[in-house]
Amino acid sequence: MQKKERFRRFLEYFTQHYPEPKTELHFGNPYELLVAVILSAQCTDKRINQISPSLFARFPEPESLAAASVDEVFTYIRSVSYPNNKAKHLVGMANALMEKFGGEIPATLEELQTLPGVGRKTAHVILSVVYNEPTMAVDTHVFRVSHRLGLAPLTATTPLAVEKALMAHIPKQYVPKAHHWLILHGRYVCLARAPRCGVCELKGFCKYYEKVSEPGFS
């Protein structure tokens, strides 16, 4: 199957069945989303949603977070992965927001990446969700599912390479949604260790399924 056809069927399925996908992180404004995305690195959205209400109640805006001590922030996020580093990043991010951007969340990739704890993936999430920009944040789910479906070539061995492969074939108006489609499919169907191919409705054009369905494959 040609790559163009795989992308066509991918877009056709999700636009019909999940036309309005959304992040599973709970947030009430761009600041809260930025905090949640920083915390979600190598951690589940479920865990972040459990600890974020008390964190946001104590630090409801960048000003209060910027004035906090790293030790105090740590007490609210101790159950997430790498809490020491993330506490430092959050306080540093809030201070940078106040000093450089007047407490407003930047709207460009370059400016977002000047904030502590914000890399390309996190910046792309903010641009996509907050500003509806056609950016593709590549996390572990997007990386895995893109390769398995055959949307990204095996030679795309870095998140940036996968991002470029996807951006080259997905129309701009669908890019923000496609990010969520790939994440959610990877989270609930195309699992890392035991993909649920039996219930997957994409197996008709999935490169991975073509391979595992071959006689003698083990």
Q: What is the mean pLDDT of residues 192-209?
A: 95
Which residues 6+ apart lie within 8 Å of 13 measured at CB?
A: 201, 202
Using one digit for the tens of pLDDT, what is the confidence trace for 77-107?
999 999 999 999 999 999 999 999 999 999 9
Which residues 6+ apart lie within 8 Å of 207 measured at CB?
A: 6, 148, 149, 150
* Domain annotation covers residue 101: yes
190 appears as a binding residue in the annotation: yes
Nearest to 211 by CA among 187, 191, 195, 188: 195
Residues 104, 154 within the same domain: no
Residues 145, 123 within the same domain: no
Domain end, chosen from 129, 161, 190, is at: 129
Residues 103, 125 within the same domain: yes
Active site residue 121: yes
200 appears as a binding residue in the annotation: yes
Q: Is the dihedral of CA 97, 102, 105, 106 positive or negative?
A: negative
Give the pLDDT band (50/70/90) at residue 1.
confident
C-alpha span between 52 and 130 (Å, rounded): 18
* Domain annotation covers residue 68: yes
Contact by Cβ (8 Å): 75, 23: no
Q: What is the mean pLDDT of residues 35-61?
A: 96
Which residues 6+ apart lie within 8 Å of 113 measured at CB?
A: 119, 120, 123
206 appears as a binding residue in the annotation: yes
Q: What is the mean pLDDT of residues 143-160?
A: 96
43 appears as a binding residue in the annotation: no
- Tell me the residue range of the domain where 188 lies: 3-21+137-212
Residues 39, 12 within the same domain: no
Contact by Cβ (8 Å): 150, 182: no
Task: Catalytic residue, from 139, 164, 172, 203: name it.
Answer: 139
Contact by Cβ (8 Å): 153, 165: yes
Structurally, the chain folds into a number of domains equal to: 2
Residues 62, 93 within the same domain: yes
* Domain annotation covers residue 191: yes
* Domain annotation covers residue 218: no
Domain end, chosen from 62, 97, 129, is at: 129
Residues 151, 94 within the same domain: no
Using one digit for the tens of pLDDT, what is the confidence trace for 113-133?
999 999 999 999 999 999 999
Residues 52, 115 within the same domain: yes
Above pLDDT 90, what percent of the chain?
94
Task: Catalytic residue, from 45, 86, 121, 203: name it.
Answer: 121
Which CATH number do you get for residue 149? 1.10.1670.10
Residues 55, 11 within the same domain: no
Which CATH number do you get for residue 72? 1.10.340.30
Assessment of whether the complete model's pTM goes beyond 0.85: yes
Contact by Cβ (8 Å): 41, 122: yes
Domain end, chosen from 110, 129, 148, is at: 129
Active site residue 71: no
Q: What is the mean pLDDT of residues 153-165?
A: 96
Residues 72, 125 within the same domain: yes
Residues 12, 81 within the same domain: no
Residues 141, 121 within the same domain: no
